[in-house]
Chains A and B, each alone.
Chain A
Amino acid sequence: MTDLGGSAHSWSLVAFCSVVTLTLLLCVLTGPDRDDLEEFYTGYRSLSPLRNGLAVAGDYISAATVLTIGGVIALCGYDGVVLALSTLLSLLLLMVLLAEPLHNTGRFTMGDALGRRMPGRAVRITACAVTVLSLVPMMTVQLAGVGQLLAYILGFSDSAMKTGCVIGAGTLMIAYAALGGMKGTALIQILKTVILLGSGLVVAVLLLHAFGWHPGTMVDTAARRSGAGEAFLRYGLQFADGPHPAADMISTQVAIVLGGACLPHVTMRMYTAGSARQVRRTMSWAVSSVALFMLLITVIAIGATALVGRAGITAADPRGSTAYLLGARAAFGPDVSRVESLLFSAVTTAVFLTLLASVAGMTLACANSLAHDVVASRRAGLPPARETTLARISALIIGVPVVVLAALAQHRSLQPLATLSFCVGASAIAPALVYTLFWRRFGRAGLLATLIGGSVATLVLMSGTRLVSGSPTAAFPEADFGRAPGWSPGHRPPPSPRPTSPGSPSPRPPWSPCLWASPAAGWPPWPAEAAPPAANATGTPPSNPSSSPGPHAGDPAGARGTDGRDGGDARNPDPAGTVAGRQAATRSPGRP
């Protein structure tokens, strides 16, 4: 299932090149005048609510969101659906709780919103530091994923090429942010949201059509082919290894609900609307678009599992991050006409554009904060032309280290970085904003304590988790910071804190096995009927000949019938077969 076919590769390459050219051109054309600060930071407050709403949705749906949520839904089913809902709820909360007050108090950046009641450089510098701390990990995650994603879409496997892709995408993102400012990136975000929603809608309709417009059948088939059976439809697969899966799940969702929409690259778009009424209308469009997208990604990812099967998804990427693309590819069937391959390249272009645009938006948020909060607050009478130049240089200052970090972090587990972003958002930014806006007696000391305390607590606690070290799938599998503070290279680290059961083949991965564990780590823990073939345990490059777009790749269950793109019985799937499949899956030993 990893082979997309030569024509898809060439179409995608053509589409990427034209998209890059077009968006750069748009950026240059719509970019702000050199000496207009207001225009660089807010786009003149001139965007209509619909356009601004699409831009907010574009900023909010980052590539990490698309790829991660798609993967979790495809591999863990129900957990992923809940994840998608928390992401949506986060934006809804931003709309009803923070959007209008933020618009009324802020001018350009989060530092403005916080510094309005509590002026002073310390507040602004801290706000900038927290902005950078919350966004740089997210940018690193996405840039580091670029190489892998392009390698998959364009069909190469050279490591140097991947690094080249990371550097190229990083250069592009700096160019977008520096040349386009708020207005240019807004245009790219709008373009991306429209392409993403449009192509996603077509794919979702095709997928539902393949299952005869019976979502129930699709879900049942997905549950059967996921190898987890009934467990696919209830919570717990994502956190199966921990001692408290329920607590893990709830805390993750709370972090995403509180932190997701408070990240500065989303809140900075609140300042670009004209009036409180327009903010509301803007957020209505944004929430509606994101809701539609969450519906689409649910259908596409479940369809991917139903048509491709778990084996095909983990073969392309052990964390399932290509599930969105696999679902789109499978929706077109094995024989792809020219129109279909054009449509598929629209999907890949949407994902590629999502990557570029969301990273550019984050770069802009960091650069604005650096230029406006730190440098410009030092000197009151800085001329606007100087500050605009400063903001452009800041994009470079932020962007270059991120590109280097991403190139270095490419081959490590990126889960702790993505989690770090959301946790900083939830534990530092969200309380600081809510207290500042709604708590009259909240003072400067409290604000600094909230921002610094929340960030430091997140950093310290995060570094002790098994996401960072101490397990085979951690970012630093060779170390164990959490268990032994005085650990030195000559000293053997203590064993894993959680005792593994006697029959367990290997230490268990950290709490997000679905996302980031490789099959080699002994996961999934259930004897899946669609277990990844041994060849895939080493992370097979995308050239597996048995992985044609057909749905049966490596899945014995597929031969039984109900999935059917090949057999032509997709419109009338066999309900008896489905029930039998589900019962068989229920009888299977399940998770230990």
Chain B
Amino acid sequence: MSGDSSEPHPARQPYGARPASWSGYHRALRVLRRACRWRRRAATFAALGYFAVFLTLTVEAPALMSRPAPGGLPTGVLLALVQVPVTWAAVILFEYLSGRYVDPLARSVGGYARPGDGDREPPR
């Protein structure tokens, strides 16, 4: 299970003046958090970026978007329809990368016993 609910800055020490522990549980957790953060940022920026470019083109270059593309469809409609298979590909890629890079880290965190003092459960 990817412990992803909070995002400490790596340079900042999480709790008080306790020195950052770079072994065992804490290290695994930190690596997992970093992996999750990168996955989240890359996927979000990719999805939003493509759509932002598409919207910008739509609004700024309507002439380009209504020009017929190869295949008979207007460029804008073609670009829009292409997004559906791109979405499918993105979903498959996201799942593959997560299973390849993030899940093993989550399993390794689960392999350590949770220390009694650090990373306590947030108060309910």
Contact = CB atoms under 8 A, between A and B. Distances in A.
A and B interact: yes
A81 interface: yes
B123 A217 contact: no
B43 A82 contact: no
B51 A233 contact: no
Contacts of B51: 85-86, 89, 253, 257
A5 interface: no
A116 B81 CA distance: 41
Nearest to B73: A216
A287 B87 contact: yes
Contacts of A233: 65-66, 74, 76-77
Interface in B81-121: 81, 83-84, 87-88, 90-92, 94-95, 98-99, 103, 106
Contacts of B24: none
Nearest to A281: B95
B103 A277 contact: yes
Contacts of A92: 47, 87, 90-91
Nearest to A116: B122
B124 A116 contact: yes
Nearest to B122: A117
Contact of B2 (A104, A116, A249): A104
Interface in A105-119: 105, 116-117, 119
A78 interface: yes
Contact of A295 (B63, B81, B124): B81
Interface of B is mostly: helix
Nearest to A292: B84
Given A82-B80, A85-B80, A96-B40, A291 B74 contact: no
B55 A82 contact: yes
A219 B87 contact: no
Contacts of B71: 215-216
Contact residues on B (Cβ < 8 Å of other chain), bracket: 35 or more
Interface residues of A, number: 53
A105 B5 contact: yes
B72 A88 contact: no
A440 B8 CA distance: 7
A103 B105 CA distance: 18
Contacts of B54: 82, 85
Contacts of B5: 101, 104-105, 116-117, 437
B87 A298 contact: no
Nearest 5 interchain pairs by C-beta? A216-B72, A96-B43, A234-B62, A246-B59, A234-B66
Given A78-B66, A219-B77, A287-B91, 17 more contacts: A82-B80, A85-B51, A88-B87, A93-B48, A96-B40, A96-B47, A96-B94, A97-B44, A104-B4, A117-B5, A119-B124, A215-B72, A230-B66, A235-B76, A253-B51, A275-B1, A440-B9
19 contacts: A81-B76, A85-B54, A86-B51, A89-B51, A92-B90, A96-B40, A97-B44, A104-B4, A217-B72, A219-B73, A219-B77, A233-B76, A234-B58, A234-B63, A253-B55, A284-B94, A287-B87, A298-B81, A440-B6
Interface of A: 78, 81-82, 85-86, 88-89, 92-93, 95-97, 100-101, 104-105, 116-117, 119, 214-217, 219-220, 230, 233-236, 246, 249-250, 253, 257, 275-277, 280-281, 283-284, 287-288, 291-292, 294-295, 298, 437-440
